[in-house]
Chains A and B, each alone.
Chain A
Amino acid sequence: MDDTRRGFIQCAGLALCLGAPWADAFAQVAGASAPTQDWAQGVFAARNVREAVRALGGAAMVETQEVSWGNTPDIAENGMVVPIAISTTLPKVESIGILIEKNPNPMAALYEVLPGTDPSFRANFKLGESSFVYALIKQEGKVLVARHEIKVTIGGCGG
């Protein structure tokens, strides 16, 4: 029953936007591994950095210094809202992942670096407790890793 519902939603979504100039984006969104309820797949199923590196196609953890953490804090007073900014000067980057080691679901975000997209992203995240945050930079089949420690004084999990 769930399957039919999902199928319906996708069909409806696609039908709605056929012919629209941004139909490409919709097709990508709808086609990309059917997000509904199945989010914990691929790299998002990873329980630690090693699993995430493997899921992204990396053979080994290779460290890189070419990552800037922008205004990502070292100490966060409120774990509910922690800005994490990542940018890199590395060329030919395919994607940038963010993994928060101590979170129940460590994989936090995966940004594709498309032609024209700058390898520089910023968003706010929840940290359950103090943790290392890893940047996973996919570049020509390799996965380069950089890490940054954030100390949290009030956690972002639970109520």
Chain B
Amino acid sequence: MADPMRIRARMEGEHCVVRVLMSHEMETGQRKDATGQLIPAWFIHRVTATSNGRVVFSATWGPAVSKNPVLQFSFTGAKVGDAIQITWVDTRGERRTDEARVSA
């Protein structure tokens, strides 16, 4: 199982700004190992966020996202103390969900 995400969600006026640090190799499928064999692509492909049962963020990523991805997005309609869940699914079908609370 991959390491937990680090999630920070903070209110800035009307907007809840969410910063996420994920732990993932993010192999592009372009690199070769020591024996010259291509290392197969393996990266986070889908990321979603929900808050109060509402999907507030949905992204599809290609292989160009950096190793240990950093993500920032924002949405409206949240308040301090709300829970926010982030889920990623990678190209092997592995997934991870982590939760954080919105702070002031």
Contact = CB atoms under 8 A, between A and B. Distances in A.
Interface of A: 6, 9-10, 13, 21-22, 24-26, 28-30, 32, 35-37, 39, 44, 80-83, 85, 100, 103-105, 107-112, 114, 116-118, 120-128, 156-159
A3 B77 CA distance: 40
A137 to B, nearest CB: 15
Nearest to B44: A35
Contacts of B90: 35
Contacts of A128: 30
A100 B46 CA distance: 19
B64 to A, nearest CB: 4
Contacts of B67: 80-81
Contact of A28 (B48, B53, B77): B48
A35 B89 contact: yes
Interface in B65-85: 65-67, 69-77, 85
B100 interface: no
